[in-house]
Structure 1
Amino acid sequence: MTTPDISAALERTSVFPRLRYMGSKYKLVPHLAKVFTEIGGRTALDAFSGSGVVSYLLKSLGYRVSSNDFLNFPSVITRATVVNQTVLLTKDDIETVCGPAADDRDFIRRTFDGLYFTAEDREFLDTAWSNIAQLTDDKQAIAISALVLAAARKQPRGVFTITDLRYDDGRRDLRLPLSEHFRERAAEYNKVVFNSGVQNRAFRSDVSTLEPGGYDIVYLDPPYAPPRDDNDYIKRYHFLEGLSVYWKDQKIMENTKTKKLEKRFTPFAYKRTITEALRQTFKQFKDSTIVLSYSSNAVPDAGTIAGLLREFKGDVQVRPVDHKYSFGTHATAQRRDVSEYLFIGR
């Protein structure tokens, strides 16, 4: 791989559609670009892809990227933007999605009656999915990604733990009909499609099931185990997860006000299990250069993580990065004032 043009990669990544996602790494992109370029290599795994921005950065830097997440909607986003090299949604495609329904489905209207969106917006989601179901492969991935981002932008704070408008600050995103959101979000995803010249992959898997070898770089951004509260991604983003598959094979907890999905266990989310989960993950990818981002307000602490890495790596660097998360706007969110660490194990 030739030496990548960092400036060009950062410029390309700067327009990647922004999903308000817990722990997203948009602000870390310049630091990560520098680290990835220092390491070099040709192949990279983004094992916890989340918003998809780091996978897209790696693609922009010329890597052959394998992108993975244990949720479905992040894997759809990376299929649309990292795996997809040339396909766009045409103007006719977009208008077809926003046009008359292709069937009589009404699951969203029935199941989420009175929740999250207006009746017109809920009807649009059913109608849009009836038309998206007619699309295939990369076009469908772009359309689902745009629909997910539209729903996230329309919901206050982008999370689905609340059903009222307590965080309605009057901004345009909360007023725009979902059909118009979809048109704008589809245009955003179309804008970032490009051909990197190498074949990339996207998975939806538990990290422990991934092949351990074949990557020059393995980037790890696991769910944080906070000392208080929780980081349950299903609780916060259950609607987006369900929407990405139109709730196929998803079990809704009918006794919950938010109609959330059943929680999926991950050992990274709990103080009692995360240390061993990290150790096993470092062991799994010991033959690759490991880059891990982790927060000072998470468990375990930086010293423990560095010690775990040294069990498998002879050269471990810890680089603190001043960073504030974009997630959360409430005045008492002091946890936003944290240090982000980049661990590099060679």
Structure 2
Amino acid sequence: MLFDDTKYLDYKFPEPQYLGAKYIHRGWIAQFIPDKANNVLDAFSGSQSIAYMFKQLGKKVITNDFLNCNNLIGKALIENKQYTLNKEDLEILFSENSNPEVFNLMGKLFANLFFLPEEAAFADSFRSNVNRLNNKYKEALALSVMCRSMTRKVTMGHFAHTQALVYAADPARIKRNRSLVRPLKDIFEELLPEYNAAVFDNSKDNKSYNKNILDLLPQLTDIDLAYFDPPYCNSHADYQSFYHLLETYVEYWKDKQFVNGIKRYEPKRYSGFDKNSETLSNLQLMFERANHIPTWIVSYNDRSYPDINTMIEMITPYRQVKIERKKYNTGRGGKGSVAGSSEVLLICTMK
């Protein structure tokens, strides 16, 4: 059984649309979580689906992602114990733009690129009203649902291409995905009940961080298990290029340059795990800084850089390693999940 017999089983994580999300693997991963691991870290949380699984298991969860759009999902669904969005909140969020001279970034950058002008204007107006909720968890929830709504309107669910409106004018694509032409407001209202229903209190003080994991690890104490799912180099490792629009939206930057055809922000945040030239040294540093955490589970893919043997060589000075594999029988998009490749778990325990 996926979560054995827990009282949090009935809560459901809203299905993500996120490159590399381990949502489909959560039952497999759950098999390898030690029963005695009470305090857990999800170091590269992404969609937050694995952090949510830990919460369902009754663990105290520390979740982290260096992109704030992902951290906000953690605030909304992992850290948040009780706050949901009600009718009065929606009246605030859907009201007119409270400061159109400031909140016009989506219209300036992304109108006629990813969204029609009226949709970009709605997104700006919504963003202008988020802080009027005066509650950090409601604000995080509102932004998380809006970000998910925007990915629903874009074929492939990311923003590293310039074909969004071309696809939205293609009857064949519209037939497969009506959300391409649906208003953002309608999609938001459809998704919100799923997110509201996913909020629960597991009687633990969970915490979501927005940090580089190399900086966060030395600050953490009393962690029993660390789950590491770093970006797969050679397979969609540059998440800022794929989700730049969402990060621009939640941060609402006014001091960035916006470059190339997709209007990606520049300079990018430093990841340390998205370039082959940097990832080896930073993985090594990550393992060194996690040495105070007894058990690690490392998700990886056998078509990634560095290869699995190199990963094992880096880990063995600190932990003994057991390998578990799950083969992809069909492709799921992306070079890291093609048919014939394998998702790999490195189960790392004290020697």
Q: TM-score, normalised by structure 1?
A: 0.89
Contact 2:83 2:137 in 1 (8 A): yes
From 222, 242, 260, give the equivalent of 1:214: 222
Asked if 1:202 corresponds to 2:208, the answer is yes
From 113, 116, 123, give the equivalent of 2:114: 116
Cα distance in structure 1, aligned partners of 2:60 and 2:342: 30
Percent identity over the alignment is: 30
Q: How does 1:260-279 map to 2 (within 5 A)?
A: 260-262=264-266, 263-279=268-284
Instruction: Report SS of the residue matched to 1:321.
Output: strand
Structure 2: tracts of 5 or more residues without a match: none
Structure 1: tracts of 5 or more residues without a match: none
Equivalent residue number for residue 85 of structure 1 = 81
Alpha carbon RMSD of aligned pairs, Å? Answer: 2.3
Q: How does 1:52-67 map to 2 (within 5 A)?
A: 52-67=48-63
Q: How does 1:230-269 map to 2 (within 5 A)?
A: 231-247=237-253, 251-254=256-259, 256-262=260-266, 263-269=268-274
Cα distance in structure 2, aligned partners of 1:40 and 1:98: 46
Cα distance in structure 1, aligned partners of 2:307 and 2:190: 41
1:230: how far off? 5.2
Asked if 1:33 corresponds to 2:39, the answer is no
Asked if 1:128 corresponds to 2:126, the answer is yes
Cα distance in structure 1, aligned partners of 2:150 and 2:312: 39
Equivalent residue number for residue 18 of structure 1 = 15
Equivalent residue number for residue 43 of structure 1 = 39
Contact 1:12 1:192 in 2 (8 A): no
Equivalent residue number for residue 193 of structure 1 = 199
1:242: how far off? 0.8
Cα distance in structure 1, aligned partners of 2:153 and 2:322: 41
Q: How does 1:148-187 map to 2 (within 5 A)?
A: 148-165=147-164, 166-168=166-168, 169-170=173-174, 171-187=177-193
Cα distance in structure 1, aligned partners of 2:343 and 2:223: 24
Please tell me the residue identity of whatever aligns with 1:183.
Answer: E
Cα distance in structure 2, aligned partners of 1:69 and 1:326: 26
User: Structure 1: which 4+ aligned runs deviate by more than 4 Å?
Assistant: 7-13, 324-327
Instruction: Report SS of the residue matched to 1:95.
Output: helix
Contact 1:89 1:190 in 2 (8 A): yes
Instruction: Report SS of the residue matched to 1:67.
Output: strand
Range that drifts further, 229-238 or 171-180: 229-238
Equivalent residue number for residue 306 of structure 2 = 300
CA, structure 1 residues 153+10, in 2 after alignment: closer, same or farther (shift >3 Å)? farther
1:323: how far off? 3.5
CA, structure 1 residues 9+27, in 2 after alignment: closer, same or farther (shift >3 Å)? farther
Q: TM-score, normalised by structure 2?
A: 0.88
